[in-house]
Amino acid sequence: MKGKRPTWSVSDSLDELAQLASTAGADVVGITSQQLERQLPTYLGKGKIEELKDIRSKVYFDTIICDDELTPTQQRNLEQAFAKKGTVSDLKVIDRAALIIDVFAKHAQTREGRLQVELAQAEYLLPRLAGQWSHLERLGGGIGTRGPGETQIETDRRLATRRIQKLKSNLEDIRKHREQYRRQRQRSGIPMVSLVGYTNAGKSTLLNALGRAEVTAKDQLFSTLDPVTRRINLPNGTQFLLTDTVGFIQKLPPALVAAFRATLEELFTAEILIHVVDISHPNAPEHVNVVEDVLRDLNVDSKSQIIALNKVDLLNNELDEELKSNLSSFFKSSGVTAVVTSAETGLGLNELLKAIQNNVKSVPNDELINL
């Protein structure tokens, strides 16, 4: 928020990481943190590593998930720090970016969604191929450094680059098809509105409530990846098209943003963006800032917005009410229309439709295309 930009606390960020891990199917057995003045080759300090070894002797775990993006060297060194001398580590280390991509892979249902996730995975792994062959460094320069290992890494890079180009080509074909469909909608003159928001803010539930879309809506992160568009009736009898888009999250890997750009292009042609905020979440202000930052990066932050302060039905104490009041006041003072809603109970949906009606250019029903 302008003037007051809440920042994530370490505990809040780690709690979200744990929720991501659970969504991916992991059983989280513990959360820990360490404050360091500089980055280390092992990511964690020796004391923290020994502490985790002691914990592992009592509570077994086979994976460590770090809340930052690791270099290949940090990942390998941290894994080896838990290995017995002369053996390969049986502990797997991954970072936040890899975890988010894994969650996306789990929820990708359509061909487009799977292609986008595969592209993100390939682009994430390509610069890390060198780390998998770092044992060659021990050979030093000169004779012996141009053996099968170097040939293999170049082969892997070439194959990965080729696959990335193929995926981009396939996604470009899908993008062109989507663009043709989008132009058809634009020629009809029917207003286009897109839902945006932090993951799990209730966008899909809101689309279901307004348009009977029957989109998968679960209380977990990134339950919906593919854009879904439905025609919605306004109170004055005219209609508009409402599109649900993929949710955002803090520290979203650049590879994912790039891979899902075709999907996010729905935002470029939208007349209005409905920014859905989970008002019951204690980090709602931070969520708002993350979404605003992504919209700014996509150059769509200047579009007209309506804020849907959603999940009001989950507020049950004075602190929650104070948060609702503060958020409502902030948006109203900044000139943005804010509507308190509950997609689950239907509260405020009529007010949201009226707000959309007051902000879109209407088109007569007899000019609409069939969708």
Condensed to tens digits (0 to 9), the pLDDT of residues 105-137 reads 887 877 888 888 888 888 888 877 755 544 444
Residues of the chain with pLDDT > 90, as a percent, come to 34
Q: What is the mean pLDDT of residues 303-313?
A: 92
DSSP string, 195-243: EEEBTTSSHHHHHHHHH-------SSTT---S-EEEEEE-TTS-EEEEE
Q: What is the mean pLDDT of residues 344-350?
A: 92
Q: What is the mean pLDDT of residues 290-299?
A: 90
Instruction: Report how far residue 361's alpha carbon sits from residue 312's, in angstroms, rounded to the nearest whole number.
Output: 29
Judged against a pLDDT cut of 60, whether residue 82 lies above it is answered with yes
Distances in whole angstroms, Cα of residue 104 to Cα of each of 99, 212, 237, 261, 302: 9, 25, 38, 14, 28
Q: What is the mean pLDDT of residues 53-66?
A: 92
Helix (H, G, I), strand (E, B) or coil at 87: coil
How does residue 216 score in pLDDT terms, banded at 50, 70 and 90? low
Judged against a pLDDT cut of 80, whether residue 350 lies above it is answered with yes
Judged against a pLDDT cut of 80, whether residue 317 lies above it is answered with no
Lowest mean pLDDT among 21-25, 210-214, 317-321, 334-338: 317-321
Question: What residues does each domain of the chain span?
Answer: 10-107, 110-188, 189-367
pLDDT score recorded for residue 180: 78
Q: What is the mean pLDDT of residues 193-199?
A: 93
pLDDT score recorded for residue 252: 82
How does residue 171 score in pLDDT terms, banded at 50, 70 and 90? confident
Lowest mean pLDDT among 242-256, 284-298, 322-336: 322-336
Q: Same fold for the domain at 10-107 and the one at 189-367?
A: yes
Residues of the chain with pLDDT > 70, as a percent, come to 78
pLDDT score recorded for residue 213: 56
Q: List, in sequence order, every residue forming a beta bridge with 278; answer none if it has no partner.
A: 310
- Structure pTM? 0.80
Instruction: Report how far residue 330's alpha carbon sits from residue 324's, in angstroms, rounded to the nearest whole number.
Output: 10
For the domain with range 10-107, which CATH number is right: 3.30.300.30, 3.30.1330.40, 3.40.50.11060, 3.30.200.20? 3.40.50.11060
Domain 189-367, CATH: 3.40.50.300
- Pick from 365, 337, 362: which is nearest to 351 by CA? 337
Instruction: Report how far residue 44's alpha carbon sits from residue 342's, in angstroms, rounded to the nearest whole number.
Output: 43
Lowest mean pLDDT among 150-154, 186-190, 335-339, 360-364: 360-364
pLDDT score recorded for residue 53: 93
How does residue 12 score in pLDDT terms, banded at 50, 70 and 90? very high
Lowest mean pLDDT among 165-174, 245-254, 305-314: 245-254
